[in-house]
Structure 1
C-alpha cells in the first residue's frame, strides 16, 4: 500500500509540475508581446526622430519634426498596444473573418462582402487631400514598423491572441484606415432595421392606427400619413417569421437600440463660472475589452491635440487642442433607404429602372474558410446600391416574390472624404473653421459639438440625401426602386445640415434627441434616438445659473431616470396603497412591498438600491404583456422598453389603451389589470434569480457592465482573465447611460455606454479630464489592460494636459524612433 501511495504521489507531483510548466510556457510566450515603452529603435519610413512619451496613464504624447512623422508615431503606438484589435477590425470590414474562425463567421463575411465597404475604402484614398494622403501613408508606415519589429525580434507574434488564431498579418495600407471609419459607420447605423421593422409591424397589426403607438414619432409636429406597406405590395403575406441575424460577438451589425448614442453639452462664457467655455462629451458604443477608444496626444505643426482615437485611424475623433474642443454624438440622420427592385420575369439577371430593364452589375467574390472549402459569392449592384440577401435583418419577410432588395446609403461612396474632414478638424483654430473643415464629412453622420475660447456651436456633419418631395414612403419604408420619385437625387448642400452657433441661453446639448423639426425632405430624420435623457439634462443645466467643469462631470455621471419618474405614476396610479396588508409570504404581500418601495423612490438608478431592479423588471414585463398578443413572434424584436409607447397606452392617446385588452381572451382587461399582472410577473422573475427579499436586492447585480473580449471572452477559465465585469449604476434612459442587453437570461446586463468621457474647460485647459472604460493596452497581461476600468466605474477621471514637461515628469517610458 505504501508503494502504491508513493507512486500516486509521484504521478500527482509530476502532473502538477507539468501543469506549472505549461502555464509558465504560456505566460512566457504571451508576455513576449508586451511592449517595451522605454527603448530606442531604428525604423524605416521616418524623415527625422520621433519621441513617444507615455504619461502615468500610459497615454502616448507624440513629438516629431513634421506632422507625417507624428502620424508615424501614432501608428507605431496603436500597433504596440492594440495590434490584435486593429487586425480584427480590418479583417471584419474585409469580410475575411472566416479565414481565421471558420464557419461560425461565414454569414458575417457574406454580408460585409455584399456591402463592399473595403473596396470602396481603397477607392476613396485618391479622393483625400494631400495632407491626409501623407498622414495615411505615414501612419501605415508606423504600423508596419511595429510589425517589422515583432518579426525581427520574435516578440510573441505581437499579441497573445495570435498564438491561438495564427494567420498572416498583411502590411497596413492607407485604405485600411478609411475602411475602419466605414466599419464604424456600419456599427452606428440603424435606419435600415427601422424600415424593416416598421414594414413588418404594419403587416402584423390589424388596426393601422396602432403603428404610431408601438413605433411612435418623437414629440413635435406630425407628418403626413404614410401608405400601409401592404398597399404598396399587396401580395405580401401578413406573418412575422424571424430569421435571426448572426449574434456572434465578432458581428459588427448592431442590434436594434444599440446602433449609436452619446451625450455632449457646451456652455458659453456667460454660463461658465470660470469665464471660459466648457465642453463635455461621452460617446456611447458597445462595450468590449479592450475598449473601442484609445487616448493619445499629437504635437502637430498647428499645436497639440489630445483626446480619443480609434486604433487603426490616425485622428483624434473627440478631444481638444489649446484653442478648440470637439465632441461627437450620433445624429440619427436618415442616410439609408431600402428599395424593392423588380426582376425581369424573362431574365432574372435584369431589374426594372425608370428607363426599362437593366442588367445588374456583378462581380464574383471568394470567401476562404478555415477547415472548409471556399465559397464563391456573386455580388450584385443596382443603380440604387448593393442587393442584399433575404436573411439580412429579415428582408425576406417583406420582399415580394419576383423582387430583391437593394440599399442606398451615403457610406457606400467610393469618394468618401470623411478622413480628410477629420484631419482638417484637428487643425482648426476656432468654431467657424471647424464647421467649414467638416463640410467634406460623408458618414457616419454625427452631431459635432464645438467650443473655442469664446464661442459654442453644434453642427450636424455628414451627407444628407436629397429626396423627391413626392417620395412614396418618405424613406420610412422600403419603396419601389423603379419609380424616379423614390430615388435619391444626390445630396443636399452642407448649409442644409442643422447648425446652432452662440445660442442666446448660452448652453447647447444633445442626448440623441430630436434637434430640429423641418418638413420632408429636409427633415433630417423621422426616427431619432433617446427621447428621455434630454429632459433630465435640461433640468440639470437650468438648475444652475453658471456651470463648472465639476457640474458638467456631475451631469455626465447622473443616474436619475426621468423615464422612471414619469411612467411609474401612470402605470401604478390605481395600485398604490390599496387594500389591507396581505399575509406574509403571499404574492399580494410581495406586490405591496414592491409598491411601497417604489412609492418612495426618486428614480435614481443606483447600483446599490433594489428599486431600479423592481422598476426595470416591471416595465419590461408590462411591455411584453401589452404587445405579445398583437404582434406574436414579432414581439421578440422589441427587446427594450419603448417609453413613449407605455405613455401613449396609459394616457390613452388616440385610443392607445386598446393594447391593454388581450384579444384572445373573453374578459376585457384594463390597463390597471395589465400593470398588476406584469408586476406579479416581474416579482416571480426576480425571486427565481435574486431571491424574494426585495429590500436586499441590488440593481448592480443585474446591471453589470460587460467589457468582454470579443474572441477569448467565451473561452472557459480564460474568460476570467480577459473579461472585465463591474457592477454599475445608470440604465437605458439615464445620462450615465448603461444600455441593457434586453436578451434573456440576463436582460439587464450593461452592454453599451460611454467608452470615453471627456470634459474640457477653456478657462484652464490643463484642468480638463478624460477616461476610458478599460485601459490603453489590449494585452490582458499588461497592467494597462484594465487600470482605468475601476476609475471609470467610480466616476473618476485622468487629467488631460498638453504640458509636455508634465507628461515627461511622470512618464512610464519614453520611446525614441530613429530613421534607419
Structure 2
C-alpha cells in the first residue's frame, strides 16, 4: 500500500512538472513585441511599432532593411503557417503528418507546381530590386528560425526546420493559384451528366446551346464515371490544412459619388476559414516607399494594399484556366497516346515522397503533351483511363512574384495596369482607386478561345487535334473598366459581359451579390466610409424572395399542418435578410437542401450529390431550375411506374424540411432563429484533434450572413441541425481617400498565429458583429498606442 502511494505521489509530481514545463514553454514562446534584438543582415537600426492589434509598423532607412525586418516579425507570428504553406505544393506534408497526408502529396507533387517554381527561380534577374528584396525577406525568416522561439505546433510534430528559399515562395503562390480553380470539381461531374443523361439535363446548369454536335457524338453514351476525379480533388482540398480561395466582393466608388469627393475602395476576399487566418498585416515606411499591406504567409509582397496615393484589392475572376483531356492510348503500347501526327510517347518522372515514421513512397508521374495524367495521381481512381490536366499556371511563364512586386510598387494607374499583364494565372479581378480620383477594374489571366465545336466544361478529346487548339488573346481583350462614366466599378465573381461577342467561359458565381451591389451603388451619390461599412456587411439576398415566391406558389395550404402553415407565413413575409434573430433563413435553407436532394440525388447518387453541393454550379442552377416546370430533374428515375412533377417534389421537400426542423429544434417555429443554426468556428489544423481543440480553435460563434449575400458566409447545404460556416470574408477593408489615415479593416480572428499571443483572437468578436478598427498610417498616433521593438545591426551592441 505504501509502495502504491509512493508511485501515485511520484506520478502526480511528474504530471505537475510536465504541466509547469509546458505552461512555462508556452509563456516563453510568446512573440516579442517590445525591447531590442539583433538582426544580422540589416545595415541600420530599424524600429517596429506593434499597434493595439499587433500590426507591425516598420520604420526603416531603406526597403532592404524593412523587408528583412518584415520577414523576422512575420515569422515570429506565423512560422507554423509558413511551414504548412511551403509544404503542400511540392508534396511534403507526409513528412510531418505521416500517411494521413499521402493522398494530398501524391497529387500535388505530380501536377508540376514544384518544377514550375524551380524554373521560375532560375529565370530571375538576381540584380533586380524584386529579387534583392525577396531575399532580404527570406533572410529575416531564416534569422528567426535560427534565433527565435520554435512554435509549439512545430515542437509537437517534431519538425526539423529548414531555411526558407525562393522556390518556397513560388510554391506558396502555386498552391494558392490552384485552390482558386473550380474546373477540377466541376468538369468531370458535368461530363458524367452529359454522357449518362444527355444535353437536356444540362440546361438548368446554364449550359444551353453551347454544346458542339461533334463533341456530343464523340462522347454520348460512353459513361466513364469521371466524377471520381471530382470527388478525389474535392476531398484533397477539403482536408487540406491550407485554406482555399473561394470568391470575394470589391467595389470602388469614384469621387463623383462620394460625399467628400474622394475615392472609396472596399474589398473582402472570401477564403475558407482557418486559424490562423490567411492575411498578415504590416505597414512599411521608408524614405522613398510606404505600403500598408496584407501578406500571405511566406510571401514578401502584399496581394492587398494601400498608401496615401493608391489602394488595391482583388476578387477571383473565376475564368476557366484548366482543361482536362481524355488521352487515347495505343492498344499495342500503353506507354503511347494518340495525336493527329501519330502516337507519341508519354514522359515519365520518378518522385520520392518521404513519409513520417514509415518507408518512402515512390511515385511515377506520367505526362502527355497536355499535362500530367491526374488519374494516376489520385488514389481513389483504380482505372485505366488516362486523363491529362492542362493548367495555364504551369504551361505559361511564371511571373507571379514580379507582378505582385510591381502592384505594391506602382507609381500610377498606368504602371499598375501594366503589371497585371504579368499574371497569367490565376484569373483575378484587380480593383484600384487612387488619391487623384482614378478608379479601375482590370482582370488578370492568360485568356484564350477554342474551336466553336468545343465546350471546355467537359472532359475534352486529347486525340482529335481540335479540342486542344487554343488561340491566346491579347491582354487588351481582358475584361476591364477604367474610370467609367457611371463612376463606380464592382466585382463579385459574376460573369463579365461579352467582349467582341465572346462570353469568357468559367465557373462564375450566381448574379445575386452583383445585383445587390449594383442596386445599392447606382442610385446613391453621397457615399461615406460609414455607409460603405454598413453595405459590406449587408445580408439581404437579391434573389431569395423570387425563389421563395416560385416555390411557395406550388404549396396548397389545405394540405399543410399547423407548423407548416406557420413556416409558410414566415417565408412569405420575409424580406430576404439573414440576421441572427431571423427565422425565415433557417426554413428557407433547409427547404433548399431537401429540394436539391429530391431533385438531383436519384440521378447522381448520394456521394456525387454531396459533391455537387460543394460546387458553384449548384448555386447557379437554383433560381432558374425552380422556375422550370419541364425540367427533367423533377422526375425520380428510381420510380419507374410514375413521373414526378415540380409540384410533388417541392411539396415533399417542404414537408421534409419542416419535419427535420421540428425534430432538431422543436415544434415552435419562433425557436428556429438563424443565429442558433448558422455558426462559425475558426479551426486550426491541430485543433481537429479533440484534446487540442479548445486551445487552438477560435469559436464557435453565431454569425449573420449567408450564401451569396454581400456578407457571404459560405456553407454547404445539408440536413445538419447546426450549419457550420466553411468560409467567408478573410478581411474586410475600407479605404477612404478623404481620410486615408483613418481607413478601416478587420480580420476574422487576429494578427498572430501564436496561441499565446494576445493578438491570436482579439478581433474575432469584432468580426462576427460586423465591426471595424483603424489601419493606422499616422506615426504620432502609432507611437502613442504601440509597443516598440528595435532591431539593431550586428555591429551595434544590444542593451
TM-score range (shorter-chain normalised) is over 0.9
Query: What is the match of residue 462 of structure 1?
Result: 445
Deviates more, 1:230-239 or 1:624-633: 230-239
Counterpart among 53, 63, 80 of residue 76 in structure 2:
80
Q: 1:648, 1:657 within 8 Å by CA — same for their partners in 2?
A: no
Counterpart among 287, 305, 314 of residue 273 in structure 2:
287
Counterpart among 97, 100, 105 of residue 104 in structure 1:
100
**1:525 maps to 2:495:** no
Aligned residues: 786
1:411 partner SS = helix
- CA distance in 1: counterparts of 2:236 and 2:349, whole angstroms: 27
**Structure 1 position 695, deviation (Å):** 0.5
Counterpart among 391, 398, 404 of residue 416 in structure 1:
398
Deviates more, 1:379-388 or 1:305-314: 379-388
Q: List structure 1 runs of 4+ shifted beyond 6 angstroms.
A: 6-15, 393-397
Query: CA 1:744–1:575 in 2, change beyond 3 Å: closer, same or farther?
Result: closer
Q: 1:182, 1:444 within 8 Å by CA — same for their partners in 2?
A: no
**1:646 maps to 2:625:** no
Q: Any idea what the Cα deviations from partners look like across 1:351-395, whole Å, max 9, x if unmatched?
A: 223332222222211111112211111122222212212574987
Query: CA 1:311–1:259 in 2, change beyond 3 Å: closer, same or farther?
Result: closer
Query: What is the match of residue 609 of structure 1?
Result: 582
Q: 2:450, 2:471 within 8 Å by CA — same for their partners in 1?
A: no
RMSD: 2.7
Counterpart among 526, 531, 540 of residue 560 in structure 1:
540
**1:165 maps to 2:148:** no
**1:40 maps to 2:26:** no
**Structure 1 position 230, deviation (Å):** 6.1
- CA distance in 2: counterparts of 1:169 and 1:414, whole angstroms: 32
- CA distance in 2: counterparts of 1:112 and 1:683, whole angstroms: 43
Q: 2:599, 2:633 within 8 Å by CA — same for their partners in 1?
A: no
**Structure 1 position 127, deviation (Å):** 3.6
**Structure 1 position 644, deviation (Å):** 4.6
- CA distance in 1: counterparts of 2:288 and 2:345, whole angstroms: 51
**Structure 1 position 773, deviation (Å):** 0.6
**1:232 maps to 2:215:** no
- CA distance in 2: counterparts of 1:573 and 1:12, whole angstroms: 71
1:484 partner SS = coil
Q: Any idea what the Cα deviations from partners look like across 1:531-567, whole Å, max 9, x if unmatched?
A: 2111211222134222111121111100112232221
**1:144 maps to 2:130:** no
- CA distance in 1: counterparts of 2:518 and 2:459, whole angstroms: 36
Counterpart among 181, 191, 216 of residue 206 in structure 2:
216
Deviates more, 1:226-235 or 1:336-345: 226-235
2:466 partner SS = helix
- CA distance in 2: counterparts of 1:649 and 1:661, whole angstroms: 15
- CA distance in 2: counterparts of 1:490 and 1:657, whole angstroms: 36
TM-score by length of 2: 0.92
- CA distance in 1: counterparts of 2:578 and 2:640, whole angstroms: 36
- CA distance in 2: counterparts of 1:743 and 1:575, whole angstroms: 22
- CA distance in 2: counterparts of 1:212 and 1:391, whole angstroms: 32
- CA distance in 2: counterparts of 1:685 and 1:11, whole angstroms: 54
Deviates more, 1:228-237 or 1:338-347: 228-237
- CA distance in 2: counterparts of 1:663 and 1:259, whole angstroms: 37
Q: 1:128, 1:417 within 8 Å by CA — same for their partners in 2?
A: no
- Stretches of structure 1 that go unaligned for 5 or more consecutive residues are none
Query: What is the match of residue 786 of structure 1?
Result: 761
**Structure 1 position 128, deviation (Å):** 4.0
**1:635 maps to 2:609:** yes
Deviates more, 1:264-273 or 1:678-687: 678-687
Q: 1:661, 1:670 within 8 Å by CA — same for their partners in 2?
A: no
Q: 2:50, 2:788 within 8 Å by CA — same for their partners in 1?
A: yes
**Structure 1 position 331, deviation (Å):** 0.2
Q: 1:189, 1:254 within 8 Å by CA — same for their partners in 2?
A: no
Q: 1:280, 1:552 within 8 Å by CA — same for their partners in 2?
A: yes
TM-score by length of 1: 0.90
Query: What is the match of residue 690 of structure 2?
Result: 716
**Structure 1 position 519, deviation (Å):** 6.3
- Stretches of structure 2 that go unaligned for 5 or more consecutive residues are none
- CA distance in 1: counterparts of 2:275 and 2:191, whole angstroms: 36
Query: CA 1:249–1:201 in 2, change beyond 3 Å: closer, same or farther?
Result: closer
- CA distance in 2: counterparts of 1:50 and 1:139, whole angstroms: 14
Query: What is the match of residue 686 of structure 1?
Result: 661
- CA distance in 2: counterparts of 1:480 and 1:248, whole angstroms: 26
Query: CA 1:162–1:31 in 2, change beyond 3 Å: closer, same or farther?
Result: farther
**Structure 1 position 318, deviation (Å):** 0.9
- CA distance in 2: counterparts of 1:673 and 1:174, whole angstroms: 59
Matches within 5 A, 1:234-249: 236-237=222-223, 242=228, 244-245=231-232, 247=235
2:247 partner SS = coil
- CA distance in 1: counterparts of 2:450 and 2:641, whole angstroms: 48
Counterpart among 651, 657, 661 of residue 676 in structure 1:
651
Query: What is the match of residue 22 of structure 2?
Result: 26
Q: Any idea what the Cα deviations from partners look like across 1:291-342, whole Å, max 9, x if unmatched?
A: 0111111225543111311111111211211111101000012111111222
Query: CA 1:242–1:124 in 2, change beyond 3 Å: closer, same or farther?
Result: closer
Q: 1:190, 1:254 within 8 Å by CA — same for their partners in 2?
A: no
Matches within 5 A, 1:562-577: 562-575=542-555
Query: CA 1:406–1:500 in 2, change beyond 3 Å: closer, same or farther?
Result: same
**1:273 maps to 2:259:** yes
Query: What is the match of residue 133 of structure 1?
Result: 131
Query: CA 1:813–1:685 in 2, change beyond 3 Å: closer, same or farther?
Result: farther
Counterpart among 442, 455, 459 of residue 478 in structure 1:
459
Query: CA 1:396–1:132 in 2, change beyond 3 Å: closer, same or farther?
Result: farther
Matches within 5 A, 1:367-766: 367-389=353-375, 392=378, 403-413=385-395, 415-453=397-435, 454-464=437-447, 466-470=448-452, 472-489=453-470, 491-518=472-499, 523-575=503-555, 578-579=557-558, 588-633=561-606, 634-639=608-613, 642-652=618-628, 655-656=630-631, 659=634, 664=639, 666-710=641-685, 712-724=686-698, 725-742=700-717, 745=720, 748-766=723-741
Q: Any idea what the Cα deviations from partners look like across 1:587-606, whole Å, max 9, x if unmatched?
A: 71121111122222211111
Q: 2:441, 2:480 within 8 Å by CA — same for their partners in 1?
A: yes
Q: Any idea what the Cα deviations from partners look like across 1:687-721, whole Å, max 9, x if unmatched?
A: 333232220122122211121002x1222232012
**Structure 1 position 248, deviation (Å):** 6.5
- CA distance in 1: counterparts of 2:547 and 2:70, whole angstroms: 48
Query: What is the match of residue 351 of structure 2?
Result: 365
- CA distance in 2: counterparts of 1:253 and 1:38, whole angstroms: 31
- CA distance in 2: counterparts of 1:483 and 1:383, whole angstroms: 13
Deviates more, 1:794-803 or 1:736-745: 736-745
Query: CA 1:346–1:280 in 2, change beyond 3 Å: closer, same or farther?
Result: same
**Structure 1 position 19, deviation (Å):** 4.1
